[in-house]
Amino acid sequence: MTLAVGPGALAYVLKDAAGKLLGAQSFYPASSTDPILPPVEALKELVQKVQGSSPHSSQHTRLIAYSPHLTLLPSAADTQALGRQWRNLFLPPQPVRLMFKELSDSDYTLCFALPATWAEALHTQLNSPSIDHALQHLPAIVPTLHVRADFCGHNLLLAAMDHRLLYANQFHFEHPHDVVYLILALFHQYQWANDQVPLFLSGDIVENSTIVQLLRRYVRHVSFSPPPHDIHLENNYPWPKHFFHTLLVP
């Protein structure tokens, strides 16, 4: 079972021991002006309920976090020291656990923060050996310059890639216009032509949403991300194929 958790958001996919998809579901409130991470007790109850109702499911639990507190550090540097400096300068003065993850096809190490008590409870109550960030499960779509926007509830994970990772950040949004502003600001920051650089969408987003309709006004090439190339989805897969991408990537 793979869980994706973020402020005000929760989703899961369930597979059997052979990797066949058994089920998936998302729980996103319509709006969340003060989003918090789901309580660990609720996660534990969900895991026990879902795995208990599916005897053929794998009993391993993996957790993917959508944490808005992230930064990219040069891999050649002392990432531990830089991570502590980043925490002291930019994060609220509350206990956090810093996670450091090497990113494939990148010159960066990802550093992200989670509340210390929440992260500790995950390890003790869910026996989760590690916590990944969703960015680790957001691979490139094409070998040329493109932008990826992945949605988990009201969390927007933005990444830009051109053979390797160029940019990554996560934002909380309330309104569709917030999303358009954040994406256009990225294009403007790097002086990319929004009639040339493609934008790929994945996660909790659908074609007839206001967000997609607005984006198509300003970005010429907007499409939904295809499933990861090494993931086979059955013909009767009941969800749009751009859903649950970060949970499906191994």
pLDDT digits (tens, 9 = 90+) for 203-228: 999 999 999 999 999 999 999 998 76
- What percent of the chain lies above the pLDDT cut of 70? 90
- pLDDT (mean) for 103-112: 91
Q: Is the pLDDT of residue 58 over 90?
A: no
pLDDT at 222: 97
C-alpha to C-alpha distance for 145 and 84, rounded to whole angstroms: 32
DSSP state of 124: H
pLDDT at 74: 94
Q: Is the pLDDT of residue 35 over 60?
A: yes
Q: Which residues does 249 contact at the CB level (< 8 Å), separation at least 6?
A: 137, 138, 139, 228, 231
Confidence band (pLDDT; 50, 70, 90) for 64?
very high
pLDDT at 130: 75
- pLDDT (mean) for 186-205: 96
Report if pTM > 0.85: yes
The rounded mean pLDDT for the chain is 87
Burial class for 136, CB neighbours closer than 10 Å (0-12, 13-18, 19+): middle
C-alpha to C-alpha distance for 67 and 155, rounded to whole angstroms: 9
Pairwise pLDDT comparison (64 vs 237), residue with the higher score: 64
- pLDDT (mean) for 1-29: 81
Q: Is the pLDDT of residue 128 over 80?
A: no
Comparing C-alpha atoms, which of 122, 107, 25, 17 is closest to residue 65? 122
Q: Is the pLDDT of residue 56 over 80?
A: no
Contacts 24+ apart (CB under 8 A), 154-161: 154/7, 154/8, 154/9, 154/28, 154/31, 154/32, 154/35, 155/6, 155/7, 155/8, 155/9, 155/35, 155/66, 155/68, 156/182, 157/66, 157/203, 158/182, 158/183, 158/186, 159/135, 160/186, 160/190
Q: Is the pLDDT of residue 189 over 90?
A: yes
C-alpha to C-alpha distance for 246 and 142, rounded to whole angstroms: 17
pLDDT digits (tens, 9 = 90+) for 140-177: 888 999 999 999 989 999 999 998 899 999 999 999 99
DSSP state of 131: E
pLDDT at 181: 98
- pLDDT (mean) for 93-102: 93
Q: How far is CA 228 from CA 6, 18, 27, 114, 132, in A?
A: 22, 18, 23, 27, 17
Q: Is the pLDDT of residue 78 over 60?
A: yes
Identify the three-state secondary structure at position 91.
coil
DSSP symbols for 161-204: EESEEEEEEEEE-SSHHHHHHHHHHHHHHHT--TTTS-EEEEES
**How many of the other CB atoms lie within 10 Å of CB of 117?**
13
pLDDT at 57: 62
